[in-house]
Amino acid sequence: MPFDGGATHLGTEWTKNATRILGIPLHSLGELLLPDYIMEAADDQQLLRERLSGTYRQLLLNLLAGHLFAYNCWLAVKMLATHRRSVPGWLCLLPAALGMAAGIVAALSVFPVGLSCRRISWYVGFAMVMAIICNSAIVLQKAYLVLYRQRWVLFVGTLLLLPQLGFMYVAWMLSPVTVAADTGCVVNYAPFLPWFWFGSTAPINLLFMGIFSHVAYKQYRRYGSDAWRKLARDGIQTMCLVVLCNIVCACGMVLQLGGKFSEMFFLVDW
């Protein structure tokens, strides 16, 4: 689903008579079903082709994403088949299942029985936030274990996770959903929203990086050149890479390292 960092270009006039849910104004274009939006251009063949082309490009991307999440879901199920009580296994299955469902729901949007762009984007936003919280919870559990179950890690880590829940509502409130001829559904987010996301994820990622760096240093002092192999065996190497990926994606979003495609860092982080 395309993102547009220029929500301000929509102005505020449309909010005056807009329908609201939980105090959130809903743009009229976002409430349209894609088939209805396409058929509005039935008398203009060029516009009709443009809308069909944009919709089907989005459909292809949704199907590819759904396939990727379905594969991850299958891997998580295989993991749980051998370790049913594994907390990380369930935390891997949940975001994969949510992502697979997002792909299916988005793909069905091209049919008359589908959901509006706004409903789809809200669900995708919910799924993204839940996925990243699950990933953070996996890393938090590992940090708790490598520090020999010190409870302050769980307490501080849980507190630092809470702002990520607030991001979901703020994103819904400040990101009106519309539909465009060349891209289909579009989430028009406020320019400062990536900074809000950075602020909600950076503290916990810095905590994790500090913990795993401390553990890695202790292992190096103890085992020397064999430390990296031991870290890989204990899963700490993977946790370091996960945290590094989160930090790089957050920096990529706020610094616009990908230009107009910087929003894809959201999806990469997912």
12 in helix, strand or coil?
coil
pLDDT of residue 114: 78
Give φ, ψ of 85 to 5 degrees: -95, 10
pLDDT of residue 5: 52
pLDDT of residue 39: 87
Tokens for 54, please give them: 């944009």
Please state which CATH class domain 3-8+25-269 belongs to. Answer: mainly alpha
What is d(CA 173, CA 189) in angstroms, rounded to the nearest whole number?
9
Q: What is the pTM of this model?
A: 0.81
**What are the contacts of 92-95 at 24+ separation with CB within 8 A?**
92/134, 92/138, 94/130, 94/131, 94/134, 95/127, 95/130, 95/131, 95/132, 95/134, 95/135, 95/270
Give φ, ψ of 25 to 5 degrees: -70, 140
pLDDT of residue 155: 92
Tokens for 58, please give them: 């989005």
Sequence spans of domains, the chain: 3-8+25-269
pLDDT of residue 233: 58
What is d(CA 144, CA 264) in angstroms, rounded to the nearest whole number?
31
Whether 108 and 55 have beta carbons less than 8 Å apart is answered as no
What is d(CA 269, CA 179) in angstroms, rounded to the nearest whole number?
25
pLDDT of residue 179: 86
pLDDT tens per residue across all 270 residues of the chain: 555 555 556 767 888 888 888 888 888 888 888 888 888 888 888 888 888 888 888 888 888 888 888 998 999 999 898 888 888 889 989 999 998 998 888 888 888 877 888 898 898 888 888 888 888 888 888 888 888 788 898 899 889 888 888 888 888 888 888 888 877 888 887 777 778 888 888 888 888 888 877 777 777 777 666 655 665 555 666 667 777 777 777 777 777 666 655 666 666 666
The pLDDT tens digits for 86-135 are 888 899 899 999 989 988 888 888 888 778 888 988 988 888 888 888 88
Instruction: Please name which of 93, 82, 130 lies closest in space to residue 270, comparing C-alpha atoms.
Output: 130
The pLDDT tens digits for 41-56 are 888 888 888 888 888 8
Neighbour count for residue 179 (Cβ, 10 Å): 25
